[in-house]
Structure 1
């Protein structure tokens, strides 16, 4: 029996080298064991569509992907919304646009993470509004909505030759997702919604790792409470994702006041749940270049120090989102179209 299984595996491997695996085997696009140095660049299509130009350190216009790669970025994170508008700040990020962006990332040899918001616009701790097309649906129908939408986007990616290495089921879901049915006040329902997303991801791409993601990465009590409940109610996941924005932490705008708490939480989560951990969102003030550089160095080192190589990496949220275009103060890009020197931190790892 063992010999026959080995022969089958060898045969599948040999065939896959020639024509790609079929059925249950998944090839993760551009998978490596390298430390993740990432950028979430969901704004990029809008920036390009509105004429924003990107320049390298020498002032030469280049593709934003190339500039990021030249600064050490090896991973691209992309959000996807169900039926978004065309608004510059709160639109785009449709499934079709996400697939196009993933293809560009693949072209540049980058790894891909997909972030399902399960909304038509931003989903975060302050808002988790269900898509308009899902309004009025009873809970059993919502479960089908989550599964079919997730499966559809994953299938579109697969058909384009993209098997994401990671997929987030929900974005910063500290209080749940798809309100009101999926609030943490009803963990039984929330866990079912999570598991529908998880199952749909695994059906299309079994090797893709599913991330559950909370904000306030330095807040160990927040993470223990949430993931203890997730485990208690049978929510399925492979990786614990954290956001870390010192700027938004009350009384701790300087990263030096929270970085040790972040490290403690990373280590505790990895040990307590025997899971890999990753900072999937990070950012700091664009006008404090040295401080942001130092924060990135410190955060990457804390992740890398997690025992048993369970610390996967760090992803900057919208580094290319220059404040003159986005009005966002935590990018890592100048209004002159050039990357901030803070991004050089990624070249150190």
Structure 2
């Protein structure tokens, strides 16, 4: 009798508890899209459609597909006047009204900051170091406090963008780690002064390079750099195999005891061009086994999400598809100082050349 009762109890437990595979498939906390180019796209006539072809608000289409977070970059004084506090406030208001969370990405530059360039804003060029540090604090505080005062407090903040070599060169280059630390901690302090619950992200590129991440975050620890989340860029055609990416993201989560987040990822849905400006990624199969098709884009995004979901101890927060709304709109090119520049990224957006949402958008919202 006891054996029969035990068997019945086990059977009941199996009926109540989902199988391990189902538990593993829980959606990520952050299913995000970088929409930094959206404000300018809309101002210049960009059109967005849902999967059925119905024209609508891009953010609402994202939300209806399950995207629950947006990422917005901030430049200090860009030539075109976009990606400033003005647009961040406006887009954040719309996103928060749709129930989305917000990641604010400070570049601390008038244009793109990345591993190859971390150019100080023109207005900060001649500042002595103490005043440069204060400028970082003041600029960070100003944008974030404005967001808080309008009721759209940032949930996550990147203090710097892809800061493999530090920020605000040459002063904050990590050839001089104490300076790097002072500038990053100034940004951290500004974030926490506005909202102690907002999490600070430190973001590097080259998400498959474990040597880089160990070197960088070991130095961050030894120099007292404060942060809450480790952010990675992982573009599979640039940053190593899926296996090396998985090994690295698992290692840094365990080694530093921090949540991890893919701040940027993307994949092409076509080899075609929509604006006559050469695309960055043009190959028919940029990563082995994943073709530049809507199906290949969806499969790659799902695979990256699976890797983040599998980070041990639940430390994988989620991911952002980079510039998901950067479609080919005349005037909305890569160079804020040159209206004639084109978009080299439109074949990696989550909207097709007809403005219609691609299958990968629904995948992103369900990962």
Question: What TM-score, normalized to structure 1?
Answer: 0.85
> Which residue number corresponds to residue 230 of structure 1?
220
1:327 aligns with 2:324: no
Q: Unpaired segments of 5 or more residues in structure 1?
A: 1-32, 253-257
1:44 aligns with 2:61: no
> Displacement of 1:330 after TM fit?
2.3
8 Å Cα contact 1:320/1:339 also seen in 2: no
Q: Which of 119, 141, 155 is 2:145 aligned to?
A: 155
Cα offsets for 1:100-154 (capped at 9, x unmatched): 1111110111011100110111111111111111111111111111111111111
- Answer 1 or 2: which has greater helix percent: 1
| Correspondence list, 1:101-140, <5 A | 101-140=91-130
> Displacement of 1:41 after TM fit?
0.3
In the alignment of these two chains, the number of paired residues is 306
Provide the C-alpha distance between the structure 1 equivalents of 2:143 and 2:324, rounded to a whole number of angstroms.
25
> Which residue number corresponds to residue 174 of structure 1?
164
Provide the C-alpha distance between the structure 2 equivalents of 1:284 and 1:175, rounded to a whole number of angstroms.
25
| Correspondence list, 1:1-349, <5 A | 35-86=29-80, 92-249=82-239, 258-287=241-270, 288=292, 289-323=294-328, 326-328=343-345, 329-349=347-367
Q: Unpaired segments of 5 or more residues in structure 2?
A: 1-26, 271-291, 331-342
SS at match of 1:52: coil
> Displacement of 1:343 after TM fit?
1.9
RMSD of aligned residue pairs (Cα, Å): 1.4
- Change beyond 3 A, Cα 1:324–1:82: closer
Provide the C-alpha distance between the structure 1 equivalents of 2:55 and 2:102, rounded to a whole number of angstroms.
25
Provide the C-alpha distance between the structure 2 equivalents of 1:336 and 1:262, rounded to a whole number of angstroms.
33
> Displacement of 1:64 after TM fit?
0.1
> Displacement of 1:295 after TM fit?
1.2
Provide the C-alpha distance between the structure 1 equivalents of 2:92 and 2:304, rounded to a whole number of angstroms.
26
> Which residue number corresponds to residue 255 of structure 1?
none
> Displacement of 1:347 after TM fit?
3.9
8 Å Cα contact 1:323/1:334 also seen in 2: no
Provide the C-alpha distance between the structure 1 equivalents of 2:213 and 2:325, rounded to a whole number of angstroms.
29
> Displacement of 1:323 after TM fit?
4.2
Provide the C-alpha distance between the structure 2 equivalents of 1:229 and 1:291, rounded to a whole number of angstroms.
38
Cα offsets for 1:77-99 (capped at 9, x unmatched): 0111111121xxxx511112111
> Displacement of 1:167 after TM fit?
0.3
> Displacement of 1:293 after TM fit?
1.0
8 Å Cα contact 1:323/1:331 also seen in 2: no
> Displacement of 1:332 after TM fit?
2.3
